[in-house]
Amino acid sequence: MDPATLLTHAGRPQGATVTVNPVVARTSTVIFDSVATLQGALAAYAAGERPLVYGRKGTSTTHALEDVLTALEGGHRTRLFGSGLAAIACTFLAYLRPGDHVLVIDSCYEPVRKLCAQYLAGMGVAVDYFRPDLSDLAAKLRGNTRLVWVESPGSLLYEMCDLPALLRLVRGAGDAIVAVDSTWGSGLLYHPLALGADVSVIAGTKYLVGHSDAMLGVAVAREGAWPALAAMADLLGHSVSADDAYLALRGMRTLAVRLRHQQAAALEVARWLQRQPQVRTVFHPALPDDPGHALWRRDCQGANGLLSIELQPSVTQAQMHAFVDALQLFGLGHSWGGFESLVLPVQMAAVRTLSSWEGRGPVVRLHVGLEATADLLADLQQALARIG
């Protein structure tokens, strides 16, 4: 089934006469008619089923969203979290114990670095970073490596990682779990589990919700990796509200249409930016001259509205800030994946360990929304004029 069709039909109620959307089941307490019924529900939950037991353990609304995500990602089961970072942290904690070793890709989301430095190191977990091109991965694998964390394409500069090659190296060295931050792919553009990974994590706040009105994290696991993830999520009390699950379901119905439009618009903006004298580099894996383009063509089913630009090295921080402040249609703020265009200045020196940004220009991340592309280009043109 085409993913666009799946997004339209998966997770919908079944029956002779049903509503087209799931009911928003707002509840904390579930009432049972007898002790036997309660005990049966608890036993079913312990066996991995999804009976109604307690609001924190899931409702019909959250189950519907889980079903869509499991089908979209091709996994065994899905767990929902209050944010993408919560899903990331729970994944780390599910598979790591004191004395273990974790390998993290150097192009990871910046808060992952803080999690490693400010928490994992203190609990006795050794952390190393490896290059997105995998040139140093084999030398850094250890006998106690229990988790390899990948983000592909990478955060901010969208470096593609050869995930099948990484998996061959990791599987040849031991039994480490391979988990992938697939927020960029959002279940539609990139499929880590199909490529062999054990866990796919998505910040659903971005493209899944799609309307900038709900926080959500998602972790989809293969069968072998599922028990540890589910147990840790229960221990930490992770859950999402029925309302947020409903908002995500609503957003996902139009995910394929939104991404098609935003990919086309972002590519048009990226090509236009490549011709501007103030811009040195445009980072977008769908551009033919991007270093990861061949891997993108092999492993991805499209692109989204994200791109970053490196301004000329002669551009000062003040000029870069003037450019950002002059933009009228690109809102200045964190996150991305909604209907609106966004801009964010980036400090590259703080988000890479194994490479230097010395001598390079300032970097600005753009998210291209659903506005008319001609209007966005006119806005960028007038803002770039502030640089000269």
Read off the pLDDT of each residue in 161-169 and give the average, rounded to a whole number.
98
pLDDT in tens, 25-68: 999 999 999 999 999 999 999 998 999 999 999 999 999 999 99
Same structural domain for residues 242 and 171?
yes
Which one is catalytic: 106, 181, 198, 244?
Answer: 181
Last residue of a domain, one of 252, 285, 301: 252
Same structural domain for residues 260 and 248?
no
What pLDDT does residue 16 have? 83
Last residue of a domain, one of 203, 221, 252: 252
Domain residues for the domain of 345 are 256-384
Same structural domain for residues 183 and 311?
no
Same structural domain for residues 62 and 178?
yes
Last residue of a domain, one of 229, 252, 275: 252
Instruction: Note if 158 is an active site residue.
Output: no
Same structural domain for residues 202 and 313?
no
Spatial distance between the Cα atoms of 113 and 181, rounded to a whole number of angstroms: 14
13 pLDDT more than 90: no
CB-CB neighbours of 256 under 10 Å: 18
Which one is catalytic: 56, 171, 297, 298?
Answer: 56
3-state secondary structure of 61: helix
Which one is catalytic: 206, 222, 253, 258?
Answer: 206
Same structural domain for residues 229 and 326?
no
205 pLDDT more than 90: yes
Residue 234 banded pLDDT, cuts 50, 70, 90: very high
Instruction: Note if 162 is an active site residue.
Output: no
Beta strands in the chain (DSSP E): 77-81, 101-105, 126-130, 145-151, 177-181, 199-202, 217-221, 279-283, 306-311, 331-332, 342-346, 363-367
Nearest C-alpha neighbor of 341 from the set 285, 275, 268:
268
Same structural domain for residues 342 and 204?
no
Same structural domain for residues 216 and 261?
no
Same structural domain for residues 243 and 293?
no
What pLDDT does residue 213 have? 96
pLDDT in tens, 173-194: 999 999 999 999 999 999 999 9
Instruction: Note if 213 is an active site residue.
Output: no
CATH of the domain at 290: 3.90.1150.10
Which one is catalytic: 77, 106, 109, 128?
Answer: 109
The rounded percent of the chain whose pLDDT value lies above 90 is 94
The pTM assigned to this predicted structure is 0.95
What pLDDT does residue 349 have? 87
Same structural domain for residues 317 and 173?
no
Instruction: Note if 206 is an active site residue.
Output: yes
Cis geometry, peptide bond prior to residue 153 (ω within 30 degrees of 0)? yes
